[in-house]
Amino acid sequence: MRIGDRYELERPLGEGGMAGVFLARDTETDSQVAIKQMHAELGKHAELRARFLREGRIVARLDHPHIVAIHDVIPVEETGVAMVMAFVEGCDLSRIVKRNPPPVLCPELAARIVRPIAEALAYVHGEGVIHRDVKPANVLLGLDGAIKLTDFGIARGDDEQGLTKTGDFLGTPAYIPPEQARGLRVSAAADQYALGVMLYQLVTGEKPFAARSTAEVVLAILRNEYPDPRTRNPAIDDAFAAVINTAMAPEPDARFADVAAFIAALDACVPPCAAAQTAETVAALVADPEGAATAFARDIAERLCAEGEVALGVGDRPTAVARAHGALYRHPSNTRAAALLHDLGQDAPDPLLAAAAAGDAGADDDDTVFDPRGPQLPGGQTQVTPAGPAARDAMAAAALGVAETDPQVEPVGAAAAPAPSARPAQIPAQDPPPAPEPGPHDEATVLRPAGTPRGIAGWKVLAAVFVLTALIGGGVAWIVHSQPPTAPPTPTPEARP
């Protein structure tokens, strides 16, 4: 099948709510390209076509090594429009974080993946563009080591005000900041928040806001409830945790001033490496995620052991202990680190116990996008009325409606909403933001799981209770009716004077 005059479709690469992506061959250059084509049933909607064309216009004017380039925008009879993009042979980051079990990357490896995306976002923010849907599924990793940000379908440019305005609820629930969950107009700080969520997921193996349904995810975001990342991965030190928690601050003003400041804080924790080293690491991760992550962590552990031995040689025992512990947290069977601790007169910690898995990843909503203004999307997704300044319970009820109709947001075996965590660590140079004043968003009743055992639907529990009640009632009735009848007591004659 041909698209336009020069592109021959070969096979599908992926599919989203608005469009599908296909591998194609450019017959003029004999090279492979990726073609993003709107779903036929959506091509008739003028607003969605306008949004799709806007994505092409936005990305066509961006030129950055970590952004997927658009070569052409061509008309298509069936859907109206298609975009011809550079083809990245490899996988998207969601294919790595969704593995079973999900990998827990050491902070150094996670930083190598996130930093190029942060550089791309710093660039697009400088061009007046906000992505608004930063998530693992929109980060492409190439077999050649490339890291590319893609899918600007709901991005907003300063010159594109007509299709995005206050009240929009656009994005993927697990990665949106509180202001976006409320339907408020977002700034570049929203992309920074999503970066923090991605970094958290990479170093812990779990999303910070994991819950059974989209409604519970949104409410957890609004309440800023998520476990401290250090409790899920002991290799995370206070400074690295502070980078995550500051990027994920509930108020935009409490986050880093911009993504450039985020990069600077990340570099202070994990010094950047050469581009060639990053490409080599990413290529190995695409080819063998578990093996590459393990090998990378082993190399970092060896480096920490060497630093610890030097520290011990100059009498710096605290640094030597810290480096040995850090090595074991990254590579639990590292005998060199265990020997270093033995020389220091200390027992080795139990990294496996400290980093025990904390459960499932929750609702698999990486591809769920809410658009309250557009028509109904494929997959049963429904329109959601954003809360804005209204009470939060109305928003929660709407989100519950989506959760009931969208099979993507409530998979079997999803984890319950996380319990409130301790106060997140902050960057030492910054004062913690003041607690927000109670407002209309804090008046709604908190929705929590009903406590149903995992994997058992609520109706089954009710049926079981009904059956047990009937059995017990029947047993009692049988016991009562099986007893022989007894004569009524003989009245006692009244005493007479």
Can you give the pLDDT at residue 474? 57
Question: Same domain for 64 and 103?
Answer: no
Per residue in 289-310, pLDDT tens? Answer: 999 999 999 999 999 999 999 9
Per residue in 165-200, pLDDT tens? Answer: 443 445 688 999 999 988 888 899 999 999 999 999
373 DSSP assignment: S
pLDDT range class, residue 319, cuts 50, 70, 90: very high
Distance CA 346, CA 339 (A): 10
Question: Same domain for 189 and 65?
Answer: no
In a domain, 350, yes or no: no
Question: Same domain for 215 and 237?
Answer: yes
Question: Same domain for 129 and 221?
Answer: yes
Which alpha helices (DSSP H) does 231-274 contain, by range?
A: 238-247, 259-269
In a domain, 113, yes or no: yes
pLDDT range class, residue 469, cuts 50, 70, 90: low
Output the six-digit token pair for 370.
């809410």
Residue 72 CB contacts under 8 Å (≥ 6 apart), including other chains: 83, 84
Q: What residue numbers bound the domain in which 109 lies?
A: 90-275+358-442
CATH of the domain at 213: 1.10.510.10
User: Which of 54, 86, 118 lies at the terminal end of a domain, its last residue?
Assistant: 86
User: Which of 398, 426, 442 lies at the terminal end of a domain, its last residue?
Assistant: 442
In a domain, 340, yes or no: no
Can you give the pLDDT at residue 365? 52
Question: Same domain for 259 and 143?
Answer: yes
132 class by beta-carbon count within 10 Å (0-12 exposed, 13-18 middle, 19+ buried): buried
Q: Does the structure show a pLDDT above 90 at 325?
A: yes
Average pLDDT over residues 470-497: 48
Question: Same domain for 136 and 29?
Answer: no
Question: Same domain for 27 and 141?
Answer: no
* Structural domain count of the chain: 2
In a domain, 378, yes or no: yes
In terms of pTM, does the model score above 0.75? Answer: no
| 133 carries an active-site annotation | yes
Question: Same domain for 164 and 263?
Answer: yes
Can you give the pLDDT at residue 157? 55
Q: Which of 133, 191, 365, 406 is catalytic?
A: 133
Question: Same domain for 44 and 112?
Answer: no
In a domain, 16, yes or no: yes
In a domain, 459, yes or no: no
Find the Cα–Cα–Cα–Cα dihedral 76, 77, 81, 83, rounded to 10°: -20
100 DSSP assignment: S
In a domain, 230, yes or no: yes
Which sign does the torsion angle of CA 334, 338, 341, 346 carry? positive
CATH of the domain at 52: 3.30.200.20
Q: Does the structure show a pLDDT above 80 at 213?
A: yes
User: Which of 86, 114, 144 lies at the terminal end of a domain, its last residue?
Assistant: 86
Q: Which helix (H) or strand (E) holds 148?
A: strand 147-149
Q: Does the structure show a pLDDT above 70 at 489?
A: no
In a domain, 175, yes or no: yes
Q: Does the structure show a pLDDT above 90 at 387?
A: no
User: 330-363 b/e with 16+ CB inside 10 Å = b?
Assistant: bbbebebbbebbeeeeeebbebeebbeeeebbbb
Question: Same domain for 96 and 178?
Answer: yes
Helix (H, G, I), strand (E, B) or coil at 26: strand
Per residue in 223-251, pLDDT tens? Answer: 998 999 999 999 999 999 999 999 999 99
Residue 358 CB contacts under 8 Å (≥ 6 apart), including other chains: 204, 206, 227, 231, 232
Q: Does the structure show a pLDDT above 50 at 335?
A: yes
Distance CA 377, CA 3 (A): 24
Helix (H, G, I), strand (E, B) or coil at 180: helix
Question: Same domain for 229 and 371?
Answer: yes
Distance CA 491, CA 486 (A): 15
Question: Same domain for 114 and 217?
Answer: yes
